[in-house]
Amino acid sequence: MGAYTDKIREIAGRLLKDCQVEMVIGFRKGSMPMMNEPCFVTRADAVDQLVWDGSCGINLANYLTGRTEARIGVVAKGCDSRNIVTHIIENKIKREQLTIIGVPCTGMIDKRRLKNLAPGEVLAVEEDGERVVVRGDGFETVHQRREVLQANCAVCHHRNPVIHDELVGDPVSEQTEVDRYADVRAIEGLSAKEKWDYFEALLAPCLRCYACRNACPLCYCPTCFVDEAMPQWVGKSQNPVDVRTFHFLRAYHCAGRCTDCGSCERACPVGINMRLFTKKLEKDAYEMWGWEAGLSLEQRPPLDTYRPEDPEPFIK
Amino acid sequence: MTCIKIDKQLWAQGLAAAEAQYRLFGPVKQGALYQFDALAAGQTPDLDGPNTRTSARAVVYPQSEVLFEYSLDSRDPEAHVLKETPAPAPRAALAVRPCDAYSFVLVRRNFEAPDVKDVYWLRNYAATVFVGLACDRPCSTCFCTSAGCGPYHEEGLDVLLVDEENHYLAKTITDKGAAFLQTAGWRTPADPEAEARIAQRRSAAEARVVSTVPTDRLAQIPQLELYAANFWQDVAFACINCGTCTYLCPTCWCFDIQDETRGNQGIRLRNWDSCMFPLFTLHGSGHNPRGQKVQRVRQRFMHKLKYYVDKYGDGIQCVGCGRCVQYCPVNIDIRRVCELMNGYGQNAACKVA
Amino acid sequence: MGVEPGRVHFSWISSAESTKFVEVVKQVTEAVRQLGPNENFVKKELKVA
pLDDT band at B262 (very low <50, low <70, confident <90, very high): confident
Residue C47 sits at the chain B interface (C-beta within 8 Å): yes
| Amino acid at residue number B22 | Y
By percentage, how much of chain B surpasses pLDDT 90?
93
Instruction: Name every chain C residue with its beta carbon within 8 A of the beta carbon of B269.
Output: 48
Residue A2 sits at the chain B interface (C-beta within 8 Å): no
Neighbour-count burial for B73-82, b at 16+ CB within 10 Å, e otherwise: eeeeeeeeee
How much is the average pLDDT of B89-101?
Answer: 97
Residue B20 half-sphere exposure toward CB, CA atoms < 13 A: 8
Instruction: Name every chain B residue with its beta carbon within 8 A of the beta carbon of A266.
Output: 329
Residue B54 sits at the chain C interface (C-beta within 8 Å): no
How much is the average pLDDT of B130-140?
Answer: 96
Q: Do A245 and C42 touch (CB under 8 A)?
A: no
Q: Render A186-214 in DSSP notation, one character per residue.
A: HHHTS-HHHHHHHHHHHHTT-----HHHH
Report pLDDT for B93.
98
Residue B336 sits at the chain A interface (C-beta within 8 Å): yes
Compute the distance between CA of residue A42 and CA of residue A45 in angstroms, rounded to an integer.
Answer: 9
Strands A23-32 and A50-51, how do they pair? Answer: antiparallel
Instruction: Name every chain B residue with its beta carbon within 8 A of the beta carbon of C49.
Output: 62-64
Q: Which chains touch C (3 or more CB pairs under 8 A)?
A: A, B
Cβ atoms of A40 and A66 within 8 Å: the answer is no
| Amino acid at residue number A134 | V
Model confidence, pTM: 0.93
Report pLDDT for A315.
85
Instruction: Name every chain B residue with its beta carbon within 8 A of the beta carbon of C46.
Output: 69, 260-262, 265-267
Q: Do C48 and B265 touch (CB under 8 A)?
A: no
**Nearest residue on chain A to C4, alpha-carbon basis:** A192
Report pLDDT for B349.
45
Q: Do B66 and C47 touch (CB under 8 A)?
A: yes
Closest by CA position to B333, among listed A207, A251, A28: A28
C-alpha R_g of chain B: 22
Q: Do A237 and B53 touch (CB under 8 A)?
A: no
Largest CA-CA distance found in chain A, in angstroms, rounded: 65
Residue A198 sits at the chain B interface (C-beta within 8 Å): no
Closest by CA position to B234, among listed A56, A23, A83: A23
Q: Do A241 and C49 touch (CB under 8 A)?
A: no
Q: Do A236 and B237 touch (CB under 8 A)?
A: no
| pLDDT higher than threshold 70 for residue B293 | yes
Which residues lie across from A36 on neighbouring strands?
A: A29
Q: Do C24 and A196 touch (CB under 8 A)?
A: no
Residue A62 sits at the chain B interface (C-beta within 8 Å): yes
List the single residue in A32, A112, A210 with the smallest CB-CB distance to B325: A32
- 10 Å Cβ neighbour count for A156? 25
Residue C16 sits at the chain B interface (C-beta within 8 Å): no
* Closest approach of B322 to chain A, Cα-based (Å): 11
Which ipTM was obtained for this model? 0.94
| pLDDT higher than threshold 70 for residue B347 | no
pLDDT band at C49 (very low <50, low <70, confident <90, very high): very low
**Residue A206 CB contacts under 8 Å (≥ 6 apart), including other chains:** A243, A247, A270, A272
Strands B91-96 and B23-30, how do they pair? Answer: parallel
Q: Among A39, A43, A214, A245, which would you mutate to test the B interface (most chain B Cβ atoms within 10 Å of its Cβ)?
A: A214
Residues in chain B: 353
| pLDDT higher than threshold 90 for residue C27 | yes
| pLDDT higher than threshold 90 for residue B32 | no
List the single residue in B35, B64, B325 with the smallest CB-CB distance to A238: B64
Compute the distance between CA of residue B24 and CA of residue B9 in angstroms, rounded to an integer.
Answer: 19
Q: Is the dihedral of CA A183, A188, A190, A195 positive or negative?
A: positive
H-run or E-run covering A80: helix A78-89
Q: Return the SS3 of A161.
A: coil
Residue A6 sits at the chain B interface (C-beta within 8 Å): no
Compute the distance between CA of residue B341 and CA of residue A111 in angstroms, rounded to an integer.
Answer: 30
Per the model's pLDDT, the better-predicted residue between A135 and B346 turns out to be: A135
Q: Which chains touch B (3 or more CB pairs under 8 A)?
A: A, C
Residue B37 sits at the chain C interface (C-beta within 8 Å): no
The residues of chain A scoring below 50 in pLDDT are none
Strands A131-136 and A50-51, how do they pair? Answer: unpaired
Q: Among A68, A202, A207, A234, which would you mutate to test the B interface (most chain B Cβ atoms within 10 Å of its Cβ)?
A: A207
Closest by CA position to B121, among listed B135, B103, B137: B103
Q: Do B269 and C48 touch (CB under 8 A)?
A: yes
Report pLDDT for B82.
94
pLDDT tens digits, B172-183: 999 999 999 999
Q: Do A241 and C12 touch (CB under 8 A)?
A: no
Instruction: Name every chain C residue with its beta carbon within 8 A of the beta carbon of B265.
Output: 46
pLDDT band at C3 (very low <50, low <70, confident <90, very high): confident
Q: Return the SS3 of A141.
A: strand
Instruction: Work out the mean pLDDT of chain B and round it to a whole number.
Output: 94
Q: Do B262 and C46 touch (CB under 8 A)?
A: yes
Instruction: Name every chain B residue with its beta carbon within 8 A of the beta carbon of A112.
Output: 32
Q: Do B66 and C43 touch (CB under 8 A)?
A: no
By percentage, how much of chain B surpasses pLDDT 70?
98
C-alpha R_g of chain C: 15
Report pLDDT for A314.
84
Residue B288 half-sphere exposure toward CB, CA atoms < 13 A: 15
**Residue B54 CB contacts under 8 Å (≥ 6 apart), including other chains:** A207, B35, B36, B247, B248
Report pLDDT for A141.
96
Instruction: Name every chain B residue with its beta carbon within 8 A of the beta carbon of A34.
Output: none
Report pLDDT for C48.
55
pLDDT tens digits, A126-162: 999 899 999 999 999 999 999 999 999 999 999 999 9
Cα A112 to the chain's mean position, in Å? Answer: 16
* Closest approach of A249 to chain C, Cα-based (Å): 11
Residue C44 sits at the chain B interface (C-beta within 8 Å): no
Q: Do C43 and A239 touch (CB under 8 A)?
A: yes
- Kindly list the domain boundaries of chain A, sorted by start residue: 1-106+152-178, 111-148, 179-304
Compute the distance between CA of residue B95 and CA of residue B27 in angstroms, rounded to an integer.
Answer: 7
Q: Do C2 and A238 touch (CB under 8 A)?
A: no
Compute the distance between CA of residue B300 and CA of residue B307 in angstroms, rounded to an integer.
Answer: 10
Cβ atoms of A181 and A279 within 8 Å: the answer is yes
H-run or E-run covering A122: strand A122-128
Cβ atoms of A61 and A86 within 8 Å: the answer is yes
Q: Do C1 and A199 touch (CB under 8 A)?
A: yes
Q: Do A196 and C40 touch (CB under 8 A)?
A: yes
Interface residues of chain A, partner chain C, Cβ below 8 Å: 192-193, 195-199, 235, 237-241, 244-245, 248, 277, 314-316
Interface of B with C in 55-94 (CB under 8 A): 62-66, 69
Interface of B with C in 265-294 (CB under 8 A): 265-267, 269
Per the model's pLDDT, the better-predicted residue between A9 and B352 turns out to be: A9
List the single residue in C2, C11, C47 with the smallest CB-CB distance to A195: C2
CA distance between the termini of chain A = 54
Compute the distance between CA of residue B316 and CA of residue B106 in angstroms, rounded to an integer.
Answer: 9
Compute the distance between CA of residue A52 and CA of residue A59 in angstroms, rounded to an integer.
Answer: 13
Closest by CA position to A72, among listed A91, A52, A95, A50: A95
| pLDDT higher than threshold 50 for residue B351 | no
List the single residue in A195, A196, A239 with the smallest CB-CB distance to C49: A239
CA distance between the termini of chain C = 21
Output DSSP code: residue B76. S
Cβ atoms of A195 and C2 within 8 Å: the answer is yes
* Closest approach of A200 to chain C, Cα-based (Å): 10
Strands A166-167 and A98-102, how do they pair? Answer: parallel
**Residue A97 CB contacts under 8 Å (≥ 6 apart), including other chains:** A67, A69, A70, A71, A72
How much is the average pLDDT of B142-166?
Answer: 97
**Nearest residue on chain B to C45, alpha-carbon basis:** B262
